[in-house]
A and B are shown apart, each in its own frame.
Chain A
Amino acid sequence: TQLLEQSPQFLSIQEGENLTVYCNSSSVFSSLQWYRQEPGEGPVLLVTVVTGGEVKKLKRLTFQFGDARKDSSLHITAAQPGDTGLYLCAGAAGSGYALNFGKGTSLLVTP
């Protein structure tokens, strides 16, 4: 059973377009994180959200944590080819527990 459901699974867009990726769960998380992974490399942490309703911005990326701390979204404005990669959300029930990952959203941005 997948604890974290991500959608869409695949996304192919053109440079300059906006997109939103969703991460949903029926469980409450103490924190939720977003990672970006390149093929054959380890995931790289983008952001951690801990407070329900929290919004964090990282340049053209906007992350939101749901009020109930069960879901999150990642919005990319004016996507660029360098944004191409696998975006993974991950959450933990508590600080002492390991992260569970979603299946990821594979994003392709073409020039």
Chain B
Amino acid sequence: AAGVIQSPRHLIKEKRETATLKCYPIPRHDTVYWYQQGPGQDPQFLISFYEKMQSDKGSIPDRFSAQQFSDYHSELNMSSLELGDSALYFCASSIGGTRNGYTFGSGTRLTVV
């Protein structure tokens, strides 16, 4: 069965650079979520999209932005990167809302040096 695909798997950037993370949700899933997980931390919700429209917003810094495209893939854009942005970034998708559970991708490990 198709899963949530994230790319790249690993990314190394320098401070003040920009990064773009991509997510391809499960076909026919109507909602995409982005989470940030620091070392030893629980996943923190950043932002979500329902049918390509922003549906909920969490603790996403102003330096970050995201969108969902017509083919349902989503991108998380991160600018002016800081050392503290180093984390695992997960994308998840669901159908019919939260009640049916999320399917997570394998994540992108971002390291800012």
A residues with CB within 8 A of B: 30-31, 33, 35, 40-45, 48, 50, 88, 92, 94-104
**Among candidates B44, B56, B107, residue contacting A41 with C-beta atoms closer than 8 Å:** B107
Give chain B interface residues in 35-88, CB to chain A under 8 Å: 41-45, 48, 50, 55-56, 58, 88
Residue among A35, A99, A101, A103 with most chain B CB within 10 A:
A99
Q: How far is the CA of A55 from the CA of B71 in the complex (A)?
A: 39
* A31-B99, A92-B98 known; A98+B56 contact, CB < 8 A: yes
Interface size class of B (residues with CB under 8 A): 20 to 34
Q: How far is the CA of A40 from the CA of B56 in the complex (A)?
A: 26
Residues of A within 8 A of B50 (CB): 96
Q: How far is the CA of A42 from the CA of B9 in the complex (A)?
A: 12
Q: How far is the CA of A33 from the CA of B97 in the complex (A)?
A: 13
B residues with CB within 8 A of A: 4, 33, 41-45, 48, 50, 55-56, 58, 88, 90, 92, 96-107, 109
Residues of A within 8 A of B90 (CB): 42-43
A-B pairs, top 7 by smallest CB distance, nearest first, are: A42-B104, A95-B97, A92-B98, A45-B101, A101-B42, A98-B45, A103-B42
Flag if A42 contacts B92 (CB, 8 Å): yes
Specify the chain A residue showing the minimal Cβ separation from B100.
A48
Residues of B within 8 A of A42 (CB): 4, 90, 92, 104-107
Flag if B98 contacts A40 (CB, 8 Å): no
Specify the chain A residue showing the minimal Cβ separation from B47.
A98
Distance (whole angstroms) from the CB of A85 to the closest CB of chain B: 14
14 sample A-B contacts, Cβ–Cβ < 8 Å, listed by A number = A33-B101, A42-B92, A42-B104, A42-B106, A43-B90, A45-B103, A48-B100, A96-B50, A96-B55, A98-B56, A98-B98, A99-B45, A100-B45, A103-B42
Q: How far is the CA of A33 from the CA of B105 in the complex (A)?
A: 17
Flag if A99 contacts B98 (CB, 8 Å): yes
Flag if A96 contacts B56 (CB, 8 Å): yes
Flag if B99 contacts A48 (CB, 8 Å): yes
Q: How far is the CA of A70 from the CA of B34 in the complex (A)?
A: 25
